Amino acid sequence: MNDTVLRVNAVNKVVPSADDDLAILQDISFSLQQSQSLAIVGPSGAGKSTLLGLLAGLDVPTSGDIWLGQHKITAMNEEGRARVRAELVGFVFQTFQLLGSLTALENVALPMELNGQPDAQARARDYLQKVGLGQRFKHYPKQLSGGEQQRVAVARAFACAPKLLFADEPTGNLDQATGEKISDLLFELNQQADTTLILVTHEQRLADRCERVITIDGGRLVSSVGNASVVGDEKEHQDNNSQQPAAMI
Amino acid sequence: MTLVDLKLLYRDWRGGQLNLVVSALVLAVMVVSAVSLFADRVERGIVQQISQFLAADLAVGGVIAIEPAFKDQADALSLNTARTANFRSMVFAGEKSHLASVKAVSSAYPLRGLIEVANSVSANNVQALSTGPQQGEAWVEPRLLNLLNLELGDQLSVGYLDLTITHLIVNEPDRGTAFGAAGARVMFNYQDLPTTQLIRPGSRASYRLLLSGSETSIAQYQEWYRQYEKNEVRDGEAGGESRSDTGLQSTAAPHYQLLTPQGAQEQMGETFTRGRAFLLLSGTIGVLLAGLAMALASHRYAGRLTDQIALMKAWGQGASAVRKSQAIRLFAIALFSTLLGMLLGWLVHYLLLELAKELLNIELPAPSWRPWGVAALTGFVCVIGFALPALWHLPTIAPLKVLRRDLPSSLVGHGKRLSIGILALLILTAWYSESIVTAVLFLAALFALFAICGIVALQFLRLAKGLGAWQGSYLRLGLANLWRRRQHTLIQLVGFASTLMLLLTVVGMRTSLISEWEAQLPSDTPSHFLFNVANSEVEQVKGLLQEEDLKTTQWYPMVRGRLVAINGVDITPERLARSGGLSREVNFTQTDELPPSNTITQGQWWQQSPDGFEFSMEEEVASEIGVNIGDEITFSIGGLTMTAKLTSLRSVNWQSMNPNFYVIFYPGALDKYQPNWVTAVKAGGLANNQDQSLMYQAPFVGKMVQQFPTAIVLELTDVVARIRDVITQVTQGLELILVLVLACGVMVLFASIGVSFDERLRENAILRTLGSSKKVIIGALTVEYASLGAISGLIASIGAEIVLYFVQTRVFDLSAQWHPMLWLVGLLLGVVLITALGLLRSREIITVPPLESLRRLA
Ligand SMILES: Nc1ncnc2c1ncn2[C@@H]1O[C@H](COP(=O)(O)OP(=O)(O)OP(=O)(O)O)[C@@H](O)[C@H]1O
Ligand SMILES: [Mg+2]
């Protein structure tokens, strides 16, 4: 239960830019136990998504090391990391990322089908029921509301039973009430499935529900706190921001 | 894995994302397989017929009677022999006559194969006989009975010979490639030939000595013939004295030819390779357009797959797994589309056969594997050349793209895609035409055409933009759209304009060329030609025509012969072949008066009697064959040679429809060859002959054939009708192919609307939210597509008019003429077709409510 499932050591990310190299992340180190939940917070452009990508093995740091489970993914090539992702990792995205040509059921079943899981359909049904979409199997994403779409995405992520679930602003595109429901769902399923949850968020309420919160600012880890609110002065500004997209639709 | 890939493919298909790629591919394969199935079956049908072409193992063919020495040699080798003679002659019964294709056969005919005959018109009880007609019998093609109103058992006259019709010919082993358009067959016994009195020294006939026997004897005979030919050549070089060991006059040699089944097949084979290449190349334009549509549609498809692939990779699919999945999906698409295309092509080829039915009066065998091979190759090369480059980058998409959607994909560059596409086309055209050179030339010509169309189209676009600038509302909106997306606009314009241009040109040729040619004939154009009038008959025929109050052109004596040497040096067959007009036996005449439609361009028409023989030549053939004033040319006429000096060159107005000649001698030169006489008669007009019944015959024709049964009366109307038939059938076939090509052009339209679809959806949603009415948006789209259609139609009409101008003035020697119908059809077709299809494809842009559009694109 208390195994370290994620370990980050002195990670830097530098990208080439027009005149100078740009350091997006500098000297990030922390670790996380199995079944814990972690929120990554910070102002826009701080490097949160970049960090999440590195943690999930979607990208490689310029220097430093990352361990996912037993795997030192920074020492692996892309094919190796792909195997680790297939084994351990699930995702939920701000923009849902459902495939428009697939029904809800097919969307949930797809990653399992790709892994050759024989009971993909049954599990997909099961998880759609769990997120309260038992009546919507045959509906296409465009026939679902934003919240429903994100619920499908959550079902899709959990149906694969990942050890680690990465979520980049899972409620960012939703109004507050809907966002609330999605985060309820996330934590509920997280509890059931014993998953390690790592999420990037602007929403204080969501961050508050995580056991740990780390704050990134200007690419640096400025605080790492267990189960407490630490981003007070940012809060109002962030909330306004997160309302913006929902108001547009 | 495979099952999942197919599942994914099915879901893409269900979502309509594959529609365009698949339809474009199906169309391309359909065009190509229809054309090649058609060509293949026709070719094999004809080759199959040629394999029995000779009704013998070997034959000596000649345009003069076969010398006895050939038969003697055959007897010496104890080969079986038979004789045939083919020529055109009037056959008649009572008042009615027909210019038939007559064949006299000796009793041993056919040496190989059987003659299929029936005993009543309706009968299906076909008998196969191993011998031909007895003396006094006529075996005829069934249609002759209709033409002359006859029945089995009736009398039929051929020259001075009276025959009884005893059998109807269904098929004969050496019918060859005779097209249905030729005169009806009349076959009788060789021993009756002299009685007809049709064959005289100047008559035009082709003779054959058929041979059959053991393989060794046949080989020996061939060897003997080769030896004989070689001696001829050596003699020619030595100066032309005749040799004695073959017992033949050396000068007769050029008139003879050894015919083998293989030789005939090779000759036809070449013709057909060219025909097939021509048809396939016209299909290539369809492949090119379909390829373009596929490339555009694949680009869009790739865009839609990007998210899916990024997700798959984030979930842990490796690049190689994605590549494999991609390959499986593409293979499935290629396989499915190719099979469907082949199936549709199979159906369409029946349409082509139907159109060419009358032209190709042959039995068609099943196709070989080749057309299927061509179709399959087309399908797969198209996928690899046009679809794959657009999808190639997908497996390399970074999984990080799920978080950072702006991450660029490493697309295959446009230059590279273009090169790959052109390479694919090159491979296909080279395979179609069986020649790299043809392929390169064809593609170069095609791209040149595209370039010209493109440049013209760009000018029109500029004009349209300028026009839009001071017009209001949706007119401006539509024209601005056209200009803003001018790259795609140009692609569509070029595709449509060039296809429509070809279509209009072909339609123009079918509908107007012949009638324009007829309309431009001067009113004194003759309606009938009289051939084969004997020396002794000329005065009586003149009398008869005078009685009938008919005018004729000058009477010309005519013999047939060929060129054998220039300034004492033998003419090689290659040199002769440079001039289409002189490569075969041609008609010579002699006259002291320059024929009316001729003008001297070099040298002098004879003023007083020259010392030796002199002659005048038509300037074009003279330059083709490379002879000049003062050259001494040796001619062979009916096996005898004569040398004459070239003293003038003439230009000839062939349009005059008078008897015209390439070679005219000073009077007296041809006397010893017993020429026949020829003239042209004006009897009734040509203009209204389409209304007249096909059975109509000018009254003098009946009297002519009764009194002068060996004379040949050729009706110009018949000839024109026959040419019209051939042109109609050929062009209709081409039109069908081009309509399919046009459908490929429609795919390009759909694909390029597809490429800009999301953009249009967003723009129109914004316009609508800003308060533009639906009417404005429909109006703008209509303006856009209608202008696209109008410009395409305009360019197509201009192009077609230019092509027709050249055909009219250069090929037909007509004065140029506008074709307003063509312009109307071109413009209308362009506007209606493109507007209708464009709006159909864009209906979602119009009908989807703006809010939903924006949400869908979020
Ligand atoms: N590959 C790259 N090339 C250049 N700049 C990059 C690259 N990746 C990230 N950045 C920059 O690094 C910074 C951090 O980006 P990141 O997306 O991680 O921020 P974020 O904290 O997720 O912000 P937000 O809250 O707005 O999503 C941004 O300024 C971004 O433009
Ligand atoms: Mg972010």
B759-778, pLDDT tens digit by residue?
Answer: 888 888 888 888 778 888 88
Interface confidence (ipTM) of the complex: 0.87
Ligand 1 pocket member A135 (CB < 6 A): no
Q: Which residues of A touch B14 (CB under 8 A)?
A: 101
Name the residue with the closest Cα to ligand 1, atom 26. A44
Q: Nearest Cα to B134, choosing from B173, B104, B113, B172? A: B104
- Annotated domain spans of chain A: 4-241
Q: Looking at CA atoms only, how far is residue B298 from chain A in angstroms?
A: 16
Is residue A246's pLDDT more than 70?
Answer: no
Q: Which residues of A touch B404 (CB under 8 A)?
A: 49, 53
**pLDDT band of A138, cuts 50, 70, 90:** very high
Cα–Cα distance between B849 and B687 in angstroms, integer? 62
**pLDDT band of B564, cuts 50, 70, 90:** confident
Interval A143-194: pLDDT, tens: 898 899 999 999 999 999 999 999 999 988 888 888 898 899 899 888 888 8
B186, two tokens: 């009349």
Name the residue with the closest Cα to ligand 1, atom 3. A15
Provide the percentage of residues in chain B whose pLDDT is more than 70.
90
Measured CA distances, B11 to B297, B652, B669, B686 (Å): 17, 70, 85, 65
Distance from Cα A40 to the centre of ligand 2, integer Å: 10
Cα–Cα distance between B341 and B379 in angstroms, integer? 8
Q: Nearest Cα to A203, choosing from A222, A229, A221, A185? A: A229
Taking CA atoms, what residue in B is nearest to A167? B403
Is residue B664's pLDDT more than 50?
Answer: yes
**Could you say which DSSP state residue B512 is in?**
I
Cα–Cα distance between B422 and B424 in angstroms, integer? 5
From the list B17, B315, B400, which residue is nearest A86 (CB)?
Answer: B315
Q: Nearest Cα to A1, choosing from A26, A28, A25, A35? A: A35
Instruction: Give the pLDDT mean for B471-482.
Output: 79
**pLDDT band of B342, cuts 50, 70, 90:** very high
B441, B278 contact by CB (below 8 A):
no
Residues of B with CB under 8 A from a CB of A: 1, 4, 7, 11-12, 14-15, 17, 304, 307-308, 311-320, 398-400, 402-405, 854-856, 858
> Which pLDDT score is estimated for A245?
34
> Which pLDDT score is estimated for B691?
44
Ligand nearest the Cα of residue A48 is 1
**Site of tokens 């609330």:** A180
Name the residue with the closest Cα to ligand 1, atom 27. A44
Interval B35-72: pLDDT, tens: 889 888 887 777 666 656 678 888 898 877 888 889 99
Q: Looking at CA atoms only, how far is residue B404 from chain A in angstroms?
A: 8
Q: Which of B86-90, B241-245, B714-718 has the highest mean pLDDT?
A: B86-90
Name the residue with the closest Cα to ligand 1, atom 28. A45
Ligand nearest the Cα of residue A40 is 1
Taking CA atoms, what residue in B is nearest to A77? B318
Q: Which of B111-115, B720-724, B783-787 has the lowest mean pLDDT?
A: B720-724
Interval B4-13: pLDDT, tens: 888 888 988 9
Cα–Cα distance between B448 and B456 in angstroms, integer? 12
> Which pLDDT score is estimated for B269?
66
From the list B307, B314, B320, which residue is nearest A85 (CB)?
Answer: B314
Instruction: Give the pLDDT mean for B597-601.
Output: 89
Q: Which residues contact B710 (CB under 8 A, 6 or more apart)?
A: B89, B159, B160, B196, B197, B198, B200, B532, B534
Q: Which residues contact A18 (CB under 8 A, 6 or more apart)?
A: none
Distance from Cα A141 to the centre of ligand 2, integer Å: 23
Q: Looking at CA atoms only, how far is residue B412 from chain A in angstroms?
A: 21
Q: Which of B14, B325, B402, B855 to mutate to test the interface with A (most CBs of A within 10 A)?
A: B402
Q: Which atom of ligand 1 is nearest to the CA of B403?
A: 17
A223, two tokens: 């605080």
- Annotated domain spans of chain B: 55-259, 453-522+716-858, 528-715
> Which pLDDT score is estimated for B341?
96
Could you tell me the pTM of the whole model? 0.78
Half-sphere exposure of B77 (CA within 13 A, CB side): 23
> Which pLDDT score is estimated for A10?
94
Show contacts of B456-464: CB within 8 Å, 24+ apart. Answer: B456/B497, B456/B795, B456/B798, B457/B490, B457/B493, B457/B494, B457/B497, B457/B791, B457/B792, B457/B795, B458/B486, B458/B490, B460/B493, B460/B791, B460/B794, B460/B795, B461/B486, B461/B489, B461/B490, B461/B493, B461/B791, B464/B787, B464/B791
Q: Which of A24, A52, A58 to mutate to test the interface with B (most CBs of B within 10 A)?
A: A58
Distance from Cα B313 to the centre of ligand 2, integer Å: 20
Q: Where are the beta strands (DSSP E) in chain A?
A: 4-16, 21-33, 37-41, 63-68, 71-72, 89-93, 164-168, 196-200, 212-217, 220-226
Interval B500-523: pLDDT, tens: 998 999 888 888 887 887 787 777
Cα–Cα distance between A66 and B688 in angstroms, integer? 95
H-type helices in A4-163, by residue range?
48-55, 78-88, 104-114, 120-130, 146-159
**pLDDT band of B669, cuts 50, 70, 90:** confident
From the list B319, B400, B855, which residue is nearest A59 (CB)?
Answer: B400
Taking CA atoms, what residue in B is nearest to A102? B11
Q: From edge to edge, which strands make up the β-sheet containing A212-217?
A: A71-72, A63-68, A4-16, A21-33, A220-226, A212-217, A37-41, A196-200, A164-168, A89-93
> Which residues face A9 on adjacent strands?
A65
- The length of chain A in residues reads 249
Query: How does DSSP assign B421-485, residue by residue?
Result: HHHHHHHHHHHHHT-HHHHHHHHHHHHHHHHHHHHHHHHHHHHHHHHHHTS-HHHHHHHHHHHHT
From the list B4, B7, B314, which residue is nearest A91 (CB)?
Answer: B314
Inter-chain touch A99–B405, beta carbons under 8 Å? no
Ligand 1 mutation target, pool B400, B402, B404, most atoms within 8 A of CB: B404
Is residue B577's pLDDT more than 70?
Answer: yes
Is A70 or B466 the better-scoring residue by pLDDT? A70
Task: Return the number of CB contacts < 8 Å for A and B.
Answer: 81
Q: Nearest Cα to B704, choosing from B531, B856, B571? A: B531
Strand, helix or coil for residue B100? strand
From the list A78, A100, A113, which residue is nearest B319 (CB)?
Answer: A78
> Which pLDDT score is estimated for B122?
66
Inter-chain touch A58–B403, beta carbons under 8 Å? yes
Homologous superfamily of the A4-241 domain (CATH): P-loop containing nucleotide triphosphate hydrolases (3.40.50.300)
B130, B76 contact by CB (below 8 A):
no
Q: Nearest Cα to A79, choosing from B319, B247, B120, B143? A: B319
Is residue B561's pLDDT more than 60?
Answer: yes
From the list A78, A100, A114, which residue is nearest B312 (CB)?
Answer: A114
Interval B123-144: pLDDT, tens: 567 888 888 899 999 999 888 8
Q: b/e map of B547-577 (b: 16 or more CB within 10 Å)?
A: eeebebbebbbbbbbbbbbbeeebbeeebbe
**pLDDT band of B254, cuts 50, 70, 90:** low
> Which pLDDT score is estimated for B209?
92
Distance from Cα B158 to the centre of ligand 2, integer Å: 100
Ligand 1 pocket member A99 (CB < 6 A): no
Cα–Cα distance between B503 and B742 in angstroms, integer? 9
Inter-chain touch B316–A89, beta carbons under 8 Å? yes
Inter-chain touch B404–A53, beta carbons under 8 Å? yes
One-letter amino acid at B99 equals L
Ligand 1 mutation target, pool A40, A41, A48, A95, most atoms within 8 A of CB: A48
Distance from Cα A46 to the centre of ligand 1, integer Å: 7
Inter-chain touch A49–B403, beta carbons under 8 Å? yes
Is residue A227's pLDDT more than 80?
Answer: no
Q: Which atom of ligand 1 is nearest to the CA of A46?
A: 21
> Which pLDDT score is estimated for B702?
80
Q: Cα B799 to the chain's mean position, in Å?
A: 21
A34, A91 contact by CB (below 8 A):
no
Q: Which residues contact B111 (CB under 8 A, 6 or more apart)?
A: B55, B56, B57, B80, B81, B82, B210, B211, B212
Taking CA atoms, what residue in B is nearest to A160? B315
Ligand 1 pocket member A101 (CB < 6 A): no
**pLDDT band of B233, cuts 50, 70, 90:** low
Ligand 1 pocket member A48 (CB < 6 A): yes
Strand, helix or coil for residue B204? coil
Ligand 1 pocket member A13 (CB < 6 A): no
What is the pLDDT of chain A when averaged over all its residues? 86
Name the residue with the closest Cα to ligand 1, atom 29. A45
**pLDDT band of B121, cuts 50, 70, 90:** low
Distance from Cα A214 to the centre of ligand 2, integer Å: 15
Cα–Cα distance between B545 and B565 in angstroms, integer? 41
Is residue B568's pLDDT more than 60?
Answer: yes
B102, two tokens: 């007559």
Q: Which of A109-113, B20-24, B242-246 has the lowest mean pLDDT?
A: B242-246
Is residue B339's pLDDT more than 80?
Answer: yes
Ligand 1 pocket member A75 (CB < 6 A): no
Distance from Cα A168 to the centre of ligand 2, integer Å: 7
Inter-chain touch B11–A102, beta carbons under 8 Å? yes
Cα–Cα distance between B391 and B296 in angstroms, integer? 11
Is residue B565's pLDDT more than 90?
Answer: no
Instruction: Give the pLDDT mean for B403-429.
Output: 89
Distance from Cα A82 to the centre of ligand 1, integer Å: 23
Q: Which of A100-109, B169-178, B584-593 has the lowest mean pLDDT?
A: B169-178
**Site of tokens 């966002």:** A179
A117 in B contact zone (CB under 8 Å) = no
